Structure 1
Amino acid sequence: MTRLALFDLDHTLLPIDSDHEWGEYLVRTGAVDAAAFKRANDDFYAQYQAGTLDPVEYLEFALGTLARFPRATLDAMHAQFMREVIEPAILPQALALLRQHQDAGDVVAIVTATNRFVTAPIAAALGVTHLIAAVPEQDDSGRPTGKLRGVPTSGAGKVTHTHAWLAALGTPLESFESSHFYSDSHNDIPLLSVVTHPVATNPNAALSAHAALHGWPTLQLFND
């Protein structure tokens, strides 16, 4: 039987938060008003860390920023972001963990709350075909409208989207011999709780405590 391996992205496979770093990149390159954007971006990040973030409010803030630019400009910006920020953050130990599951023939997917515009090139750079991420609404030219399609891919939404993705593949979760989910955050406890092998990976304090209480293994990929 086939096995399933799911991975969160930020602070799990990457030692950074790609969503927050994208905002920092926009500030650094002068693409947005530095003071106003950085203040909002930092506030949302603090809410995420505290588990109080309204995901729709945040995503439509982030997607509204994307809507300011033509698609070709966005793609050029993201290519620079990949070179300067993401590629140096792709570390061999994360690639080795992914390859371990891929070489075993497991179905591998990244399940992230960050939007697909930011994360699709990152998943490709990591060699992962399947990506579950927040989907920006787009117009006919491929330009984001600033709105979110469907429900967020965060918290319990990760469970909903994972089940929908697996149903589309014709392989419901219970059909797998085993299922892993690697995550750093207590925000992902809903999905960690429905797989057969939850792994607290580079866990924050809240997830570390929850993992210890429930006997979940802990994996430290990074030193930070």
Structure 2
Amino acid sequence: MKKTILIVDDHTLFALSLQGLVNSFQEYEVIKVLKNGQELVDYFNANHKRPDILLLDIRMPVMDGMATMSWLKEHFPEQKTLALTMEHDEEIIIKMIRMGCRGYLLKDIEPEEFLYALESVATSGFYFSEEIVEVMDHSSSKNYGDLSNREMEFLNHACSEKTYKEVAEEMNLSPKTIDGYRESLFSKLQVKSRVGMVLFAVKNEIVKI
């Protein structure tokens, strides 16, 4: 049986193109294309078939991706959702992850990577970009004991909405010291961005959010 996909995106041409791409994959099919979060709320409340994976645009009129993700967290927290975005907005993506989003897709993603994203969410529950795919292959056996207490404290703060400057103030440390913690964690967790660090921490239950 094919895995089902529901697309929520107000750009009709992009959404239809995405639908065609999904339907070209042997194991996936799009069951519905909606224009905004309110249409999704109406769809779910009407008890229509819920998808295996929801592809959710972030910037939409009427009800955007942030508001939709908040609604999903309250009513359908088990729904696997991938965010769609035109740009890598770190702050927004981290907020989406905190509300239960399983990863994000840039709209210029290559078809092969897009298929990998669907398969990752379907199997492991999360999608990680190529920058941290390699380390995820053996993450289950990774020992996190080499993270110091202060590094763990920093990681918890990094998985919040605080800026690095606010984290420095919270921990009573200089911005330079915070930069050192960040670079140390990037190296130890083998990630290249704050979003990658947050996704990794959430996926491996290092940090509860």
TM class, shorter-chain normalised? under 0.3
The TM-score, its normalising length taken from structure 2, stands at 0.27
Greater RCO between the two (CA within 8 Å, min separation 6)? Answer: 1
What TM-score do the two structures reach when normalised by structure 1?
0.26
> Rg: which structure is higher?
2
